[in-house]
Amino acid sequence: MTTTKGELTWNKCGLDLYTSMAGARLVHFTGVNKGDRVLDVGAGAGSSAIAAARRGGTVTALDLSPELLEVAQQNAEIAGVKFETKQADAHQLPFEANSFDVVISAFGHMVMPDGEGVLREMLRVLKPGGRLGVCTWPPTSPVGEFCRLLERFHRVVGIPLLMNVTSWGKTDFIREQLGEAVTDIQFDIYTIRAPYMSPQHHVRHVVQAGGRHAEEPKLTEEQQRLAKTVTFNMLDTVTPFFDETEHVIRFNCLLTRASKKTA
């Protein structure tokens, strides 16, 4: 796995500022306490790690991208907190079993090629009785809707999509993946209120962050036509979530927490 252009430009375009709201909420929802040893998987720009450190946790922020981990450290310095960073592949966490009191991932594991395997790794390094917390996009959110369009686009043009975002937004799927390893599974919906002057501004922001498939030279004319359709549908998807009285778009996200069984 390598760092993608989208991972870096997501931070450069400031979109992490909105998802950081959910990351902080996840830390609170999972119940990070002073003295907890915490692992943040797919830490990105460090918003969840900062929130956990602020609550007194001893935090390790793990990500595959050294560039993002550098950004995370810069953000920690600005926030006045400290945590350790670790560059590693989340599919093979470089820690002994039962090492952490809390393991979290805010929009991280769900975009990895084998999200199910990453979740198993997260559970492996979690202590018995420890708390697991993840944040994902439900189908009823603008991102969930768009990911369904993205999956359709990839099927049509024959380009593999190495993630399963839509499934991770469903509580039944999450329960199935957690299986018998945990107890006390709880869910909550948190709403991110992202300031945009219009839905069109949001679409432009996303295009700048991730690039447009239609601009890829390897696509045929028909594939480029389909790509433009997906972008148009993105606007249709996000418009119902726009509040013109406040100039915000509401992004629902699904918070999940559970405790690892002690026996």
Distance CA(194)–CA(19), nearest Å, equals 9
CATH number of 5-260, picked from 3.30.70.100, 3.40.50.970, 3.40.470.10, 3.40.50.150: 3.40.50.150
Query: Rounded mean pLDDT of 4-25?
Result: 64
Confidence of residue 162 (pLDDT cuts 50, 70, 90): low
pLDDT digits (tens, 9 = 90+) for 166-207: 789 999 999 999 999 999 999 999 999 999 999 999 888 877
Cβ 61 vs Cβ 69: under 8 Å:
yes
The structural domains of the chain, with segments of one domain joined by +, span 5-260
> Higher-confidence residue: 157 or 38?
38
Distance CA(31)–CA(54), nearest Å, equals 13
What is the greatest pairwise CA distance in the chain?
57
> Higher-confidence residue: 39 or 141?
39
Distance CA(103)–CA(14), nearest Å, equals 25
* Mean pLDDT, the chain, whole residue set: 85
∠ CA 227-229-235, nearest 5°, is 110
Query: Rounded mean pLDDT of 127-132?
Result: 98
pLDDT value of residue 243: 96
pLDDT digits (tens, 9 = 90+) for 83-96: 999 999 999 999 99
Taking the complete model, does pTM exceed 0.95, yes or no? no
